[in-house]
Structure 1
Amino acid sequence: MLPIIERVPIVQLASGDRLFIQVYKFIGDNPGPKAYIQSNLHGAEIAGNAVIHQLMELWQQVDASQITGEIWLVPVCNPLGINRRSQHFSSGRYHSYDGKDWNRIFWDYEKEATDINQFASSQINLNPDEIATNYRNIILKHFHKLQEEINAASGVPFVEQYRYQLQSLSLDANYVIDCHSSTNQGLDYLYCFSSREESAKAFLLDYAILMTEYDGDAFDEAGMKPWLALEKSLAQQGNPIQFEVESWTLELGTGMQMNPQSVAKGVRGIQNYLATKGMLEIPGFPLPETDLHSVNFIPKDRIRKYYATAGGMIQNRLPLGTLVKKGDCLYQLLSFDKTGELPQIIDIPAVESGLIADICTNYSANQGDYILSIFQGETDKFMIN
């Protein structure tokens, strides 16, 4: 089947030119949930574009009877970000006009909802589907009120217009998948909200960051946080319910690259996830290894970032994916400190055992510049069978 293709206007530039995003909709014969998948919110993180392209090619061979519900695909979802360049480097993590991180701008209903407990109480005798429908309608009603301010003669900053356009595509989805990559060089993993660990297995990735704290400004958080708040309120009132609403961020390898291995993991994982949710009926899926797949969940507060303790050049740095023990030398700084002394080499030890999960691309560093990240824990924990 061929997708329905729609264009969404994003911004008119001073030159008069307009930028758009394009949405590809695969609509099944059978009514059901909605999945929303986007990529390239950060300009240098392009692997998800290849994932979405390959999914579109695969699903063009699928009949509409094999899809339950709707699957919306939005590659290059941030045209301003993808077009940012600095010499030979792609950037686009921040809006150049106001410096805002493109993934810290989104609208979170829970921040303005003062009546979640009251709403939960009013729904106590309804079934989960009815509660979900009622709650989603309230969220959308509040969200669409933002349009009044956007359309006012006074206008709003661009990021508020942009987030409205993007979130209007996804707020009614049951399943949201936001494809990212490391800004630098990184492993493949996903972000998982507490209580959704069982679903995370379907992506067949080895590592997941367990979200223990979040403010709701990121794309996945803004969509998921109100539902987690409602689940918590219902549970406190003696009505524990887990809604069929999930939101994920996939981190697929290295920035400025479409690494074939990372792309393949993304394609396999998304297809397997949607098949597990009953949205895709394709041969071989869900994959038989799904139930037995083991995900290593790392609490977000167990990620240790290392920053340069002095200015210099990085040498002898351990490669991505290396298991380290406390005290191991992670890298050396060749420091030309200009104090009238010879250059010195500074060994940087691991503060704690773990796995090197992310490393910077640049090998020269000012004091305080980011160097690498480690998933902290005993090395046995990170062994992959």
Structure 2
Amino acid sequence: MTKAIQSSVQVGELATGQALTVPLYSFIGSESSAPSVYIQANVHGAEVQGNAVIYQLMTLLEGYQVLGNITFAPLANPLGINQKSGEFTLGRFDPITGVNWNREYFDHQVDVQAWYREHQHLTDNALFQAYRSMLVEACQKRLAQPFGISTGHRLAVNLQTMAHQADIVLDLHTGPKSCKHLYCPEYDIDAARYFSIPYTLVIPNSFGGAMDEATFCPWWQLTQYAASQGRDFSVPVSAFTLELASQERIDLDDALVDAKGILAYLSYRGVIAENVSPAKMARFACYLRDYKKCHAPKAGLIEYCAVVGEPLAAGQPLVNILRIDLYGTDQAFQAISLPMDCVPILHFASASVHQGTELYKVMTKVFALPSV
């Protein structure tokens, strides 16, 4: 039986001098040539289900032959997790700066042309090792820069340092009220067929601030530049964001479903010795440019009519807006619909909204993904 080794990493300090630490669990693989993996959860305080998935996945791995090193970082943001207001967990935005915790990662902006010119004589494996070392060292320099960095950026760069040491990176999140969906870079769209997730957002191969992009973008840039110089290899690093339904929720049975989906992907990549087949299910996708935000045209009390994860035909009600202050007028109630077919993916958690609140995110121009 394979057992995880427990440790921790310090990601900051409280004003009282207490260390902020994140627990780590590591499975040591038996083959150095197998891909290594980094999986984190709970960067946003209320998005706790990823921890349950990590628990179930680690439990499953005890019965498998692990070939590649796997590192888990549950409870990855101790500040956000403990940011409570009454019965609710906040923890989506850094309370000091107001920045989204998942937009604090370091954009390396590597001068790929200059770096490649200096290292092009290396074999592919040596080239990848040198590039990885450069990314890790850049993060370490960022943490030690003389003018310091913000609390949130320090947390993010510490997590990013661990991610840069892996070949596969999975960042586990949830939505407010959401169905499961996957953020997948365009170059790696075939990978979406292995996870137990029905909807995939195909994102550009560019940096937008999140962990998955911070991980794969430098490697995509290296791969593209090398190809322009007549040297072809596949992007060496894969990174995805898994949105595991709704926040403020722990469901261990559902977590087991998602853990098995991750296990199927790790099997496909050769991280474990055993063959694990992906779940038989329909999977659909749309490009990020076709993922639309629907904002409240006016303030009021909201009845969310569209069910997340279920197709919605054009003209069918998305929400009903109640304005009790306008009772007795034709403005007291208004049904809102969209002019195109879509699939609602997530909606705002509160029934009380300001004008302009993002009510829903919906996929349009949806297409089916082929099965494995």
State whether TM-score is above 0.5. yes
Which residue in the other structure is 2:276 paired with? 286
Whether the 8 Å CA contact 1:310–1:335 is kept in 2: the answer is no
CA displacement, residues 295-337 of structure 1 (integer Å, 9 cap, x when unaligned): 4221011111111111111136122223122222212111245
Which residue in the other structure is 2:142 paired with? 146
In 1, Cα distance between the equivalents of 2:130 and 2:359? 47
- TM-score norm. by structure 2 comes to 0.91
Equivalent of 1:169 in 159, 162, 177: 162
**1:179-198 equivalence runs, <5 A:** 179-182=172-175, 184-198=176-190
Which residue in the other structure is 1:375 paired with? 363
Q: Secondary structure at the match of 1:333?
A: strand
Equivalent of 1:158 in 151, 158, 167: 151
The range that moved more, 341-350 or 268-277, is 341-350
Which residue in the other structure is 1:29 paired with? 30
Which residue in the other structure is 1:133 paired with? 129
Shift in Å, 1:210:
0.5
Report the AA paired with residue 77 of structure 2.
N
User: 2:104 matched to 1:105?
Assistant: yes
CA displacement, residues 109-160 of structure 1 (integer Å, 9 cap, x when unaligned): 2x2x22x1233355556543232122222222322222431xx4x5432123
Runs of 4+, deviation exceeding 6 Å:
none
Shift in Å, 1:4:
1.4
CA displacement, residues 32-54 of structure 1 (integer Å, 9 cap, x when unaligned): 33100010000111110001111
Which residue in the other structure is 1:71 paired with? 70
Shift in Å, 1:342:
6.4
- Relative distance call for 1:16 and 1:130 in structure 2 (3 A) is closer
Equivalent of 1:227 in 219, 233, 255: 219
Residues matched between the structures, number = 369
**1:5-24 equivalence runs, <5 A:** 5-24=6-25
Whether the 8 Å CA contact 1:201–1:294 is kept in 2: the answer is no
In 1, Cα distance between the equivalents of 2:331 and 2:282? 47
The range that moved more, 25-34 or 167-176, is 25-34
Which residue in the other structure is 1:178 paired with? 171
- Relative distance call for 1:316 and 1:254 in structure 2 (3 A) is closer
Shift in Å, 1:9:
1.9
CA displacement, residues 144-179 of structure 1 (integer Å, 9 cap, x when unaligned): 222431xx4x54321232223212222111000000
Which residue in the other structure is 1:254 paired with? 246
Which residue in the other structure is 1:351 paired with? 339
Shift in Å, 1:223:
0.8
In 2, Cα distance between the equivalents of 1:29 and 1:210? 33
In 1, Cα distance between the equivalents of 2:351 and 2:333? 14
User: 2:308 matched to 1:308?
Assistant: no
**1:41-120 equivalence runs, <5 A:** 41-62=43-64, 66-109=65-108, 111=109, 113-114=110-111, 116-120=112-116
- Relative distance call for 1:147 and 1:95 in structure 2 (3 A) is closer
Whether the 8 Å CA contact 2:10–2:21 is kept in 1: the answer is yes
Which residue in the other structure is 1:362 paired with? 350
Whether the 8 Å CA contact 1:352–1:377 is kept in 2: the answer is no
Q: Secondary structure at the match of 2:152?
A: helix
Shift in Å, 1:262:
4.2
**1:318-357 equivalence runs, <5 A:** 318-336=306-324, 338=326, 341=329, 344-357=332-345
- Relative distance call for 1:316 and 1:241 in structure 2 (3 A) is closer
In 2, Cα distance between the equivalents of 1:308 and 1:197? 33
User: 2:264 matched to 1:272?
Assistant: yes
Q: Secondary structure at the match of 1:53?
A: helix
Whether the 8 Å CA contact 2:105–2:210 is kept in 1: the answer is yes
In 1, Cα distance between the equivalents of 2:332 and 2:38? 52
Whether the 8 Å CA contact 2:67–2:271 is kept in 1: the answer is yes
Shift in Å, 1:216:
4.2
Whether the 8 Å CA contact 1:81–1:95 is kept in 2: the answer is yes
Report the AA paired with residue 59 of structure 1.
L
- Relative distance call for 1:121 and 1:258 in structure 2 (3 A) is same
Q: Secondary structure at the match of 2:98?
A: coil
User: 2:296 matched to 1:297?
Assistant: no
Q: Secondary structure at the match of 2:264?
A: helix
Shift in Å, 1:60:
2.8
Report the AA paired with residue 245 of structure 1.
V
In 2, Cα distance between the equivalents of 1:357 and 1:260? 22
In 1, Cα distance between the equivalents of 2:325 and 2:206? 40
Shift in Å, 1:364:
1.7
The range that moved more, 246-255 or 315-324, is 315-324
In 1, Cα distance between the equivalents of 2:77 and 2:311? 35
Q: Which runs of 5+ in 2 are unaligned?
A: none
Q: Secondary structure at the match of 1:314?
A: strand
Shift in Å, 1:212:
2.1
In 2, Cα distance between the equivalents of 1:147 and 1:14? 18
In 2, Cα distance between the equivalents of 1:328 and 1:271? 38
Whether the 8 Å CA contact 1:128–1:243 is kept in 2: the answer is no
Shift in Å, 1:275:
1.1
